[in-house]
Structure 1
Amino acid sequence: MDVIVLGGGLMGTASAYFLARRGARVTLVERHRVGTGATVASFGNIRRTGRHLSQLPLAHRSRERWAEAEALLGRDVEFRATGHIRLIFDEGSLADMRAYAEAARPWGFDLEELGPSDIRARFPGLGPEAIAASFSPRDGSANPRLVAPAFADAARRLGVNIVEEARVDRIGFTGSGFRVESSKGVFAAECLLNTAGAWGARVAALFGETVPIEARGPQMGVTEPLPHRISPVVGIWTRSKAYGAYLRQVERGNVVFGGAAERVPVDLDPGHAVADPARLPEQLRAVVRLVPALAQVAVIRTWSGCEGYVRDMLPVMGRSATTPGLFHAFGFCGHGFQLGPGVGDAMAELIVTGRCETPLDDFRIDRPSLAA
C-alpha cells in the first residue's frame, strides 16, 4: 500500500511513522519544515482532564504511545509523567470539576480531588487561594520542539520519504488513487491522508467536503530560568477566559505559560500569528494567581503559531465521505498535542486494516454538527 501524507506536524509525522511500521510505503509532503506549524506553537501539555468525553479513548491510546515514545523513537522527547493539576477558586468551578469527573469515570478516566491542605502539602506555592483542585497523576508534558522531528527521523529510518519545503500546486483523484503535484516533484499513491492542520479544510474542499474551521494563534511565553520548584503541569478550572492560564516548569528551570489572552485570527497565507506584547500583562496576572512567586520574574520570549478550530470544537478524523482512499486527521482545536501519537497510531490502523479499535465516529467529516 502506498500512502501520501499531507502535512508534517505531529499528526502527520506520527501517522507516517505508524503507517511505515505497518508496512505501508509512505511519502510525507510538508510545505515548510516538519514540526513548524501548530506543533511548535504548542504548550506541550499531555492532559486528559477536561477533554470532550468522546476523545478519551483516543487520549488513553495516545497516553500509552507517549509512555513508549523514547523506546519507539530512539531519543528522549522529554515526556515526563509529572501529573496535571487544575486549581479551583470558586464553588461553580468546583461543581464543574466534580460533574466532569463523574462523567469521565465510565470512560476509564479517574480524577483525584484535592482540598486546600492537600494542595499545600503536596504542591507548596501553588494557588494559595484555591479551594480545591483536580489531579491526574499519569499525565504531564513533552517538548513540542522535539517530538515531530523525532517521529520524522524514526519514519525515515523505516523508509518514509519526507519531502520538506514543498509547495503543493495540485491534488487530484484519478479514480484509482491520488496525484500530488508539488514544487519538489509529482507523487502518486492509492491513499491520501490529510493532516494539514488549519489548512486541512482547504484539502477537504478539493473533494467536495466542507468543514467550518477558523485559524487562530495562541499567545505563549517563557520566563528566565528559575530554581526548579514546580513539578506538575498547572492549569485552572474556570468559566472565565480572563483566568484561563496554564504553565509548566521545564527541567532547565524556565516556566512556559499560555492562556488568558484571546487567540487571534490568522491569515492562512502566510499562516502564522505574531505574539502581541501588549497582551502579556493580562496573561501574567492570570499566571501569578496560580503561582504568586512568579510575580517578579522576567519573560524572555513570546511566540505564536497557527491552530485550526472546528465549529463544534472536535477534530475531523477518519475516512472521507466522498472519495475512497482519502482520510482526514486535522482541526484539533488547540488541544491536539496530547492526542498526536494516538492519532498517528489510530489512522495507520484504519488505513492499513480498514478498521480501528478506537472509536472515531464522533469525529467523522460528515457528522451533523458540521452541516451548513
Structure 2
Amino acid sequence: MNVIVLGGGLMGTASAFFLARRGLRVTLIERHRIGAGATVASFGNIRRSGRYLPQLPLAHRSLALWNQANRLLGRDVEFRATGHLRLIFDEDGLSDMRGFADAARPCGLDLEEMEPADIRRRFPGLGPDAIAASFSPQDGSANPRLVGPAFAAAAAEAGAEIVDQAPVLDITRNASGFAVRTGRGRFEGAALLNCAGAWGTGIAARFGEHVPLDTFGPQMAVTEPLPHRILPVVGVWSRAHGAYLRQVERGNVVFGGAVERVPVDPDPGHARADPARLPEQLRAVLRLVPALRDVAVIRQWSGCEGYVRDGLPVMGASATTPGLFHAFGFCGHGFQLGPGVGDAMAELIATGECETPLAPFSIRRFAA
C-alpha cells in the first residue's frame, strides 16, 4: 500500500518514518521546507505533567521512542532526559499539582513533590520564592531544529519519498484511493494521512469534516550563551499562562510563555513575535531564575500553531472517507507526542488497529 503524508513537521516526518519501517510505500509532501513550520518554532519541551489524562498512554509511548531516538534515526536530535521541574507559587497551583499527581499515578506517571528546602538543595537559584514544585525525572527536551529533518532523512533511508516545496493544489478521491496535485507533480496513494498542522482543518473540510480550529503564534526568545547551570526544563503550575525555560548545552536559555499568543492569519501563516510583550515575559522568567536579570536577549521568534477549540488534537481515521486519516491540531503541546503520534498512526494505517487509545481524539466528536 502507498500512503501519502501531507505535512513535513514532526508529526508528518515521524509518521513517514514509522510507516516506511513497516514496509509501506510512503510519499511525504510538504509545501515549504521540512520541519520549518510549527515544529521549528517549538520550545522543544518533552513533558508529561499536566496533560489531559487520556493522552498519557500516547505520551508514554512517545517518551519510550524519544529514549531510542539516536539509535532509530542514526543521528543526535539532542534528546536529554534532564527532568522537568514545575515550580509552584500559590495555593491554587499546589492544589492543581496534587490533584493531577493523584489522578496521573494510576496512569503510570509518578510526580515527585518537592518542598522549598528540596528545591534549594537540588536546584539552587531556581524559584527562590516557590512554595513547592513537582519533578518528573524522565522528561526533558530535544532540539526542534534537528528533529523534523532527522525523521525525514531516516524515512528517506527507509525508502520514503520526501517531496518538499510542493504546495498542494488539489486533492481528489478516486477508485484506487487519493490523488494529490502539487506544484511539483501529481502523487497517488491508497491512503492519505493529514498531518498539515494548522492547515489540517482545511484538508479535513475537503472531505466534509469540519474542525473548529484557531491559529496562534507562541512568543519565544533566547538569551546570549551563558555558563551551563540550569539542568532541568523549568515551568510553572499556574492557572494563568506561566513562563517556561530551558538551557541548551551551548549555554543559551530558551524561554516562552507568560503572555498571550498572537493571532496568526493561516494564509500565508507568517507568525511574528511581538517585542511589546517581552517585558512582561521577562518578569515572569526572572521569577523562575533571578540570575538572568542582566542577561541579553538576542532573538525572538514565533510560529503558526493550530489550536482546536476543545483543547485536544484530532487523531485517527476519518469519519467520512475510507483511507483518510488525521493527526493535526496539537494545540501547542505536540512536540513531546511527535514520535508516539507517528508510531501510532503507522500502526493504525498498517493494521487497522492501534494499541494506544485514540478514541478521545477522534474527529467524530465534531460530527453534527
1:107-130 residue CA offsets vs partner (Å, 9 max, x unmatched): 111100000000000000000000
**Secondary structure of 1:5's partner?**
strand
Counterpart amino acid of residue 121 in structure 1 = R
What residue ranges of structure 2 are gaps of 5+ in the alignment? none
- Shift, 1:175, TM fit: 3.5
Matched, 1:233 2:230: no
Match of 2:293 in 1: 295
1:91-110 aligned within 5 A: 91-110=91-110
| Counterpart selection for 1:273 from 271, 285, 291 | 271
* Alpha-carbon distance in structure 2 between the residues aligned to 1:364 and 1:306: 23
Could you say what the CA RMSD is over the residues aligned between the two structures, in angstroms?
Answer: 0.7
Amino acid corresponding to residue 31 of structure 1 in structure 2: R
* Corresponding residue number in structure 1 for 2:64: 64
Q: In the aligned structure 2, how far is the partner of 1:80 from the partner of 1:165?
A: 31
Establish whether residue 40 from structure 1 lines up as the match of residue 40 from structure 2.
yes
Q: Secondary structure at the match of 1:231?
A: coil
Counting aligned pairs with the same residue, the percent is 76
Aligned pairs for 1:152-301 within 5 A: 152-241=152-241, 244-301=242-299
State the alpha-carbon separation in 1 of the partners of residues 299 and 263 from structure 2: 21
Residues 209 and 367, structure 2, Cα contact 8 Å, conserved in 1: no
What is the number of equivalent residue pairs in this alignment?
368
What CA distance in whole angstroms lies between the structure 2 residues aligned with 1:259 and 1:240?
10
TM superposition shift of 1:306:
0.6
**SS in structure 1 at match of 2:293:** helix
| Distance in 2 (alpha carbons) for counterparts of 1:93 and 1:203 | 39
Aligned partner of 1:311 among 309, 312, 326: 309
Deviation of 1:176 (Å): 2.9
| Equivalent position of 1:22 in the other structure | 22
- Whichever residue aligns with residue 183 of structure 1, its letter is G
Alignment of structure 1 residues 327-346 onto 2, 5 Å: 327-346=325-344
- Residue by residue over 1:83-142, the C-alpha shift from the partner in whole angstroms, topping out at 9 and shown as x without a partner, is 000000111110110000001111111100000000000000000000000000000000
Instruction: Tell me the amino acid that sits aligned with residue 137 of structure 2.
Output: P
**Quick one: distance in 2 between partners of 1:259 and 1:275?**
12
Render the CA deviation track for 1:30-70: whole Å, top value 9, x for unaligned.
Answer: 00011011100100000001000011000000000000000
SS at match of 2:284: helix
The answer to whether the Cα contact below 8 Å between 2:6 and 2:194 also exists between their aligned partners in 1 is: yes
Q: What residue number does 1:87 align with?
A: 87
Q: Tell me, in whole angstroms, the C-alpha distance in 1 between the residues paired with 2:4 and 2:367.
A: 28
Corresponding position of 1:53: 53
Alignment partners' CA distance in 2, 1:300 and 1:21: 40
For 1:361 and 1:74, the matched residues in 2 are separated by: 33
CA distance in 1: counterparts of 2:220 and 2:367, whole angstroms:
33
**Structure 1, residues 181-207: CA drift from partner, whole Å, max 9, x if none?**
011000000000000000000000000
CA–CA distance in structure 1, aligned partners of residues 152 and 136 of structure 2: 30
What SS does structure 2 have at the residue aligned with 1:222?
strand
Kindly report which structure 2 residues correspond to 1:345-356, keeping only aligned pairs within 5 A, or say none.
345-356=343-354
**How far apart in 2 are the matches of 1:65 and 1:328?**
21
- 8 Å CA contact 2:220–2:255 kept in 1: the answer is yes
Name the aligned partner's letter for residue 280 of structure 1. Answer: L
- Aligned partners of 1:196 and 1:239: how far apart in 2? 30
Task: Provide the C-alpha distance between the structure 1 equivalents of 2:261 and 2:267, rounded to a whole number of angstroms.
Answer: 17
Q: Deviating runs (4+, > 6 A) in structure 1? A: none
Per-residue CA distance 1:247-280 (angstroms, 9 max, x = gap): 0000010000000111111111110211111111
For 2:44 and 2:105, the matched residues in 1 are separated by: 25
TM-aligned CA deviation for residue 167 of structure 1: 1.3
- Which residue matches 2:150? 150
Give the whole-Å Cα distance in 2 for the aligned partners of 1:318 and 1:294.
Answer: 43
In structure 1, what is the Cα distance between the partners aligned to 2:272 and 2:304?
10
SS of match in other structure, 1:296: coil
- 2:200–2:328: 8 Å Cα contact kept in structure 1? yes
* Structure 1 unaligned regions, length at least 5: none
Corresponding residue SS for 2:119: helix
- How much has 1:371 moved relative to structure 2? 5.0
CA distance in 1, matches of 2:239, 2:292: 23
**In the alignment, what sits opposite 1:361?**
359
